[in-house]
Amino acid sequence: MNTLPPRIGQLRLRDLLLLEHIADAGSLRQAAVRLHVTQPAVTQALQGLEQAFGVPLVLRGSSGATLTAPGAAALLRLRVARRELLAAQAAAQAVTSLPLRLGVLPLATLALLPRALRALRAARPGLAVELTESTVARLWAQLVQGELDAIVCRLPSPQECDPVAAGLVHQTVGHERMAVAAAHTHPAMQLPADLPARARLQALLEHAWVLPPTGALTRQVLEELFLRHGLPAPRAAVTSISFHTNLQLVAHCGLLALVPESALRGYAGAQPLQRVAAPWGEPADDIVLAYRASGHDDPAIVALCASFASGVE
């Protein structure tokens, strides 16, 4: 059985939540007002917290109090711990087990998710699953903040999240390539097969695109392709985050779109869609299952990992 270090074990829950009050209030005095205690009591509690953690957590000055970098890092984990504590209370009071909160990229719903959920339902028939579809950045943020239990997603950029620093673990469960999609009658389908890469991209710039919002990872991938060849990025005639919608617009509105290759294959049988040759030169992206390291012992997470592992191609 794991035991806590003595100083950590002596802390009370109110002490652990003190950092959140200080961060929100901006001063020890206002934090004391929120907690209905005296300012000296808050100061004493903060000193005990800093001794237990072994680093300065709050920077105090004439203009108020702010968290240090270690304090901000600790607060991130403490907020997750608070949510887990409330979840533990709900689980104890619930007649049935709490649902597994699973965040997914829409592309994961094409093949990866159905296979994994079929295996999960066979292994844990009583486990309910709440699905949340969102963007790469938002899914990782929700996982870090404890709003989701696990996500099926691409790896984040360094600016979006550092999984190791945030206490997250991940395993590869699939791969996905991106493809430029067009209707089979689109002029882009008539480009010569031996056209040089830059000339091919230049020609694609002459047509209208449906693209995800600025900053979305899929759009960044496309923009980087054009920038590598010294060309401006395509401009969006239509902005849409749903590749389901985008493929419909490609098929019926004469637009180009960057979509998951598996989605294009799935729709091509029912819609007049084709893949446009593009000089990617890039390997397929990993799709990972990620969760907090503290979930290693959670039976639902263990079953989820096993379900995805059984379906890895």
Q: Which helix (H) or strand (E) holds 28?
A: helix 28-35
Write down all domains in the chain, each with its CATH number in brackets. 6-81 (1.10.10.10), 99-176+286-309 (3.40.190.10), 178-282 (3.40.190.290)
* pLDDT tops 50 at residue 164: yes
- 225 in Cβ contact with 280 (< 8 Å): yes
Average model confidence (pLDDT) across the chain: 85
pLDDT tens for 54-101 read 889 898 887 888 889 888 888 888 877 777 777 666 666 554 567 899
DSSP 168-234: EEEEEEEEE-EEEEEETTSGGGGS-TT--HHHHHHHHTTS-EEEPPTT-HHHHHHHHHHHHTT-PPP
- 300 in Cβ contact with 108 (< 8 Å): no
Choose the most confident range, by mean pLDDT, from 160-164, 227-231, 258-262: 227-231
Q: Which amino acid is at 241?
A: I
SS3 for 220-281 is: HHHHHHHHHCCCCCCCEEEECCCHHHHHHHHHHHCCEEEEEHHHHHHHHCCCCEEEECCCCC
- In whole angstroms, give the CA distance from residue 195 to residue 204: 12
Give the C-alpha distances (Å, rounded to integers) separating 230 from 178, 196, 197, 198, 223: 21, 14, 11, 8, 11
**Nearest CA among 146, 167, 8 for reference residue 79:** 146
DSSP 36-75: TS-HHHHHHHHHHHHHHHTS--EEEETTEEEE-HHHHHHH
Q: Which helix (H) or strand (E) holds 102?
A: strand 100-104
- 309 in Cβ contact with 173 (< 8 Å): yes
Q: Comparing 61-65, 114-118, 170-174, 286-290, which segment has the lowest mean pLDDT?
A: 61-65
- In whole angstroms, give the CA distance from residue 88 to residue 92: 6
- 243 in Cβ contact with 260 (< 8 Å): yes
* pTM, two decimal places: 0.65
pLDDT tens for 3-42 read 656 666 666 667 777 888 888 888 888 888 888 888 888 8
